[in-house]
Structure 1
Amino acid sequence: MTEHRPHTAPHDYLPAAGRDAFLPGYDLLTRLMGMGPVYDALIEQAELTDGARVLEIGSGTGNVTVRAKRMHPGAELVGLDPDPRALARAQRKARGLTGIRFERGYSQELPFADAEFDRALSSMMLHHLDEQTKKTTAAEILRVLRPGGSLHILDIGGHMTAADGFMARRMLHGDHVAGNLGDAIPRLLTEAGFDCTETASRRHRFVGRLTFYRATRPA
């Protein structure tokens, strides 16, 4: 995951590992956090088929995009991210694979035509966006999906409570994920024009709670 942040920061995006210096350890961190099975669940939810055009927004170092390509070789995958260092790592992971590419760009300004994709994926990205950027991003994703196409989201938040553990209690006392809590994501996507449902939610020892959503562009 990498995404936009205010322009007062050194970058106008949040690097995949939070800081450029941490990027070499990012993939190791995701493995230690046990994210592999979680990524698999997101990809399985998307029900990719041969010939499907699939966009991952905030693809970071390519973990989900490359994983989806290996699980569904007949699908066409595009990973989008603003971080050139993360993109370079993603491109190295994709060497030898066909029907997969990575492009530099921002979620609120998707460089794609209307109705270009059958599926969109978002993993651990939305909680980094401010409210206005979230709204613009939702509208852009709706635009690039074909009618009947769907967006599949994995992120921190949902109906998190103190009972979800130490990290959940820390999250609840800060403002970093406040815009993801409760029904905030379904409301955001419904207001953008999607039909949205929460599909699953699970406690996670490192981030409190992970929640999955499916949002469909009406046919």
Structure 2
Amino acid sequence: MNRQTHARDDQHYLPAMGRHWLLPLYDPFTRLARVGRIHAQLLDRADLRPGQRILEIGCGTGNLLTALGRRAPDIEAVGIDPDPAALRRARRKAARRRLPIRYEQAFAGHLPQPDASFDRVLSSFMLHHLDEEERGRALGEVRRVLRPGGEFHVVDIDATPSGTGRAHRRPLVADSVPERVLASMTEAGLTGVQENGRERARFGAYAFYRAEK
């Protein structure tokens, strides 16, 4: 079945910096936080190869796919995000660097791509923006658009409580712990689900995950 889904007209999203007016600060923040190094680690883990089709869900201003385009210009890449302002910035980056990256406005839980159309799906610091219901829809869509044998590679905040035992004050972020992320992937029907690294950055801890279809 070559199914495509559509978002509800009333669906909302959390902007990259939490407020629409803060978007101009997003790229300077990511440079200060050295997120580019984390993106490189994610791309290394994804084992990308010439001729593959890559989808990023929640691409924001396009930093991950820009790094991908520099590394592997022969790979076809698509980025989706619900924020039109972030997508305008992403498209400008691709145009300036003449990168063949396509950006589309969509929600991760309602992807406009056909079944089994990508070899890899990537996600960078996006899953913690979703509540449990929407995260389940997004992961189900990831499984749907992956080709057999395709892989899903994720990096996200690791909100595992520190020695104080206190959970993060924001519920969505507090739910971003490896045990819950891995369980959500498994519940969505992905296989080979595993955590493949935890590290710390200036903004806190983060973890890498992978899964297969």
- TM-score scaled to structure 2, two decimals? 0.89
Q: Does 1:153 align with 2:154?
A: yes
- Following TM superposition, by how much is the alpha carbon of 1:98 offset from its aligned partner in structure 2, in angstroms? 4.1
> Which consecutive segments of 4 or more residues in structure 1 shift more than 3 A?
168-174
Q: Percent identity?
A: 44
Deviation at 1:182, TM superposition (A): 3.8
Matched with 1:54 is 54
Aligned to 2:98: 97
Equivalent AA in structure 1 for residue 200 of structure 2: R
Task: Tell me, in whole angstroms, the C-alpha distance in 2 between the residues paired with 1:97 and 1:123.
Answer: 23
The correspondence for 1:204, drawn from 201, 205, 210, is 201
**Aligned residues of 1:115 and 1:143 also touching (Cα < 8 A):** yes
Residue number in structure 1 paired with 2:26: 26
Paired residue for 2:174? 178
Offset at residue 120 of structure 1 (A): 0.4
Alpha-carbon displacement from aligned partner over 1:87-137 (angstroms, at most 9, x marks no partner)? 000000001424311000010100000000000000000001010001111
Q: May I ask how many residue pairs the two structures share in their alignment?
A: 203
Task: Give the corresponding residue for 1:88.
Answer: 88
SS in 1 for 2:38: helix
CA–CA distance in structure 1, aligned partners of residues 178 and 149 of structure 2: 26
Residue 64 of structure 1 pairs with residue 60 of structure 2: no
> Could you tell me which residue of structure 1 aligns to residue 110 of structure 2?
109
Report the 3-state secondary structure (helix = DSSP H, G, I; strand = E; otherwise coil) of the residue aligned with 2:69. Answer: helix
User: Which digits, 9 at most, give the CA deviation of each residue in 1:56-98, with x for residues without a partner?
Assistant: 0000000001111111111111010111100000000001424
CA contact (8 A) 2:66 2:99 kept: no
Q: Which moved more, 1:45-54 or 1:171-180?
A: 171-180
**Alignment gaps of 5+ in structure 2:** 1-6
TM-score normalised per structure 1: 0.87
TM-superposition CA deviations, 1:12-54 (whole Å, max 9, x none): 1111221121111110001111111001101111111111100
Secondary structure of 1:13's counterpart equals coil
**Pairwise CA RMSD of aligned residues?**
1.9
Choose which of 188, 196, 213 in structure 1 pairs with 2:209.
213
**Aligned-partner SS, 1:154:** strand
Structure 1, unpaired ranges of 5+: none
Distance 1:16 1:169 in 2: 27
Letter in 2 for 1:140: E
Q: Which residue of 2 aligns with 1:128?
A: 129
3-state SS in 2 of match to 1:18 = coil
> d(CA) in 1 for partners of 2:189 and 2:154?
16
